[in-house]
A = this chain, B = another copy of it.
Amino acid sequence: MTGVKVKAGSAAVIDRTDTRIMAVLQAEGRIANVELARRVNLSPSPCLERVRRLEAAGLIRSYGAKLDAAALGYGTSAFIQVTLDRTTADVFDRFRDAVVLIDAVAECHMVAGGFDYLLKLRLKDMEAYREVLASIVDLPGVAQTHTYVVIEAIKHDSGLPLKA
Query: Would you call A5 an interface residue if the criterion is a C-beta within 8 Å of the partner chain's C-beta atoms?
Result: no
Copies of this polypeptide in the complex: 2
- Assess the B162–A72 pair: CB atoms within 8 A: yes
Asked whether, in the complex, the Cβ of A151 is within 8 Å of the Cβ of B67, the reply is no
Q: 5 A–B contact pairs at CB < 8 A?
A: A29-B64, A64-B66, A105-B155, A108-B153, A112-B149
Q: Which residues of B contact A153 (CB under 8 A)?
A: 107-110
How big is the A interface, by class?
35 or more
A147 in the interface (beta carbon within 8 A): yes
Q: Among residues 23 to 42 in chain A, which have CB atoms less than 8 Å away from a CB atom of chain B?
A: 25-30
Contact across chains for A68 and B59 when beta carbons are under 8 A apart: yes
Contact B110 A65 (CB under 8 A): no
Query: Which residue of B30, B79, B147 contacts A29 across the interface (Cβ within 8 Å)?
Result: B30
Q: What 0/1 readout, one digit per residue, does chain A (49-60) give for beta carbons within 8 Å of chain B?
A: 000000001111
- A63 to chain B: which residues have CB within 8 Å? 28-30, 63-66
Given the complex, which residues of B lie within 8 Å of A160, measured CB to CB? 67, 69, 72, 74, 122
A13 in contact (CB, < 8 A): no
Q: Give chain A interface residues in 93-121, CB to chain B under 8 Å.
A: 96, 99-100, 103-115, 117-118, 120
Chain B residues lying within 8 Å of A74, measured Cβ to Cβ, are: 160
Complex Cα–Cα for A54 and B67 (A): 10
On whether A107 and B155 interact (CB within 8 A), knowing A59-B71, A74-B160, the answer reads yes
Tell me the bound Cα distance from A58 to B115 in angstroms: 38
